[in-house]
Amino acid sequence: MVELERIRLMLENLGLAQAALTLDSHLDYAARTEITYLEFINRLLEDEADFRRKRSEETRLKLSHLPHKKTLDDFDFSFQPSIDERQIRELATLSFVHRQENVILLGPPGVGKSHIAISLAVEAIRQGLSVYFVNMEKLLDDLRRANKEGRLHNRWKVYQRPGLLVIDEIGYSQLDRVSGNLFFQLVCSRYEKGSMILTSNKGFGEWGDLLGDVPLATAILDRLLHHAHVVNIRGQSYRMKSRIKAGMNIVPQHFSGDMTNGVVNS
Ligand code: ADP
Ligand code: MG
């Protein structure tokens, strides 16, 4: 079948590799079921489009550096009553990303901050957005090294480009002066341009200590919180679920309060 080969080659040359690959089976199906010409073309092109969507999603998932894939379907909201499920479901529509707003998840260890951040990131990837996930320590190591080696300009792109940047685990270690300034620059560079999801085990009132510089912390929070959804999670660690069931309460007292210093969700 010279003609068939010619058409297959043409599809390939036009960049429709999947259509070229599945042409035979689509022709077969059309012959067996006597579908219309329109239906035939529709099926062939939908196959190509589906294939591309999946490939693009896989590529974006790889580039996102997500540590693992978690979804809201795996999240047990009944375990964490301080979380407003409706608010999280609304965030999962990703309209905050389209409005260049931030999401800040606060709470003690194990309450699901990373889980929710990852779930929103996975949803964003599904919706065709580019995402980059990094934890704070790694982000600052990377920026400090790039700064020292004079290639900060190139590295910025990694953190500026994605439609959604997730910075996990802010607050586990103190920031020195250089790190604090680099973080400030990053926050400024995304301010009103690109969304971020941040997670922290430190309340906003502790960010001054964390950065060793209250005015700098204030300037950072001022920008972060200008258009932000704050999710303040109070509760028990999911990791300790079985122990809690057995009647042990291990959350320190200071973790059960408000970490937002009165910042109200927008
Ligand atoms: P955090 O980032 O707040 O320290 P994680 O999100 O890492 O906590 O949660 C710790 C572990 O418990 C993860 O494996 C996470 O998937 C799981 N987990 C936390 N909360 C829930 C929940 N409400 N339902 C299901 N799994 C949860
Ligand atoms: Mg975490």
Looking at the predicted structure, is the pLDDT value of residue 254 above 80?
no
Confidence at residue 239, expressed as pLDDT on a 0 to 100 scale: 85
Looking at the domain assignment, is residue 30 inside a domain?
Answer: yes
Q: Which of residues 245 and 130 earns the better pLDDT score?
A: 130
Residue nearest (by alpha carbon) to ligand 1 atom 6: 112
What pLDDT, on a 0 to 100 scale, did the predictor assign at position 241? 77
Q: Among 42, 63, 84, where does a domain finish? A: 63
Domain closes at, from 48, 63, 78 = 63
Inside any domain, residue 262: no
Residue 201 in contact with ligand 1 by CB distance below 6 A: no
- Mean pLDDT, the chain, whole residue set: 92
Residues 55 and 74 in one domain: no
Neighbours of ion ligand 2 (CB under 5 A): 114
Domain that holds residue 32: 2-63
Question: Do 58 and 72 have their domain in common?
Answer: no
Which amino acid makes up residue 168?
Answer: D
Q: Note the pLDDT tens digit of each residue in 137-196.
A: 999 999 999 999 999 999 999 999 999 999 999 999 999 999 999 999 999 999 999 999
pLDDT above 70 for 89: yes
Residues 37 and 123 in one domain: no
Beta bridge partners of 263: none
- At residue 243, does pLDDT exceed 70? no
Residue 246 pLDDT: 63
Structure tokens belonging to residue 128: 């065709």
Does 200 fall in a domain? yes
What pLDDT was estimated at residue 240? Answer: 81
Under 8 Å between Cβ of 171 and 202: yes
Q: Residue 240: CB within 6 Å of ligand 1? A: no
Taking the C-alpha atoms of residue 8 and residue 2, their distance in angstroms, rounded to an integer, is 10
Question: 137, 180 in Cβ contact below 8 A?
Answer: no
Domain count of the fold of the chain: 2
Q: Is the beta carbon of 113 within 6 A of some atom in ligand 1?
A: yes
Which of 83, 84, 115 is the best mutation target for the ligand 1 pocket, counting ligand atoms within 8 Å of the beta carbon and taking the most?
Answer: 115
Q: How far apart are CA 137 and CA 170, in angstroms?
A: 8
Choosing from 12, 46, 63, the residue where a domain stops is 63
Residue 69 and residue 135 share a domain? yes
What's the whole-number mean pLDDT along residues 204-228? Answer: 95
Residue 27 lies in a domain: yes
Residue 266: per-residue pLDDT:
46
Ligand 1 neighbourhood includes 234 CB (under 6 angstroms):
no
Same domain, 70 and 42: no
Whether the pLDDT of residue 245 is over 70: the answer is no
129 and 220 co-located in one domain = yes
The token pair that represents 44 in the structure block: 């062939």
Neighbours of 252 (CB within 10 A): 8
pTM as predicted: 0.88
Going from the Cα of 74 to the center of ligand 1, the distance in angstroms, rounded, reads: 10
| 110 pocket-lining for ligand 1 (C-beta < 6 Å) | yes
Indicate the range of 126-130, 140-144, 190-194, 257-261 predicted with least confidence.
257-261
Ligand 1 atom at minimal distance to the Cα of residue 199: 2
Residue 263's pLDDT is what? 62
In the numeric block, which tokens belong to residue 72?
């809201």
Query: Whose C-alpha lies nearest to ligand 1, atom 16?
Result: 115
Q: Check which CATH number belongs to the domain holding 237 and give it.
A: 3.40.50.300
pLDDT cut 70: percent of the chain above it: 91
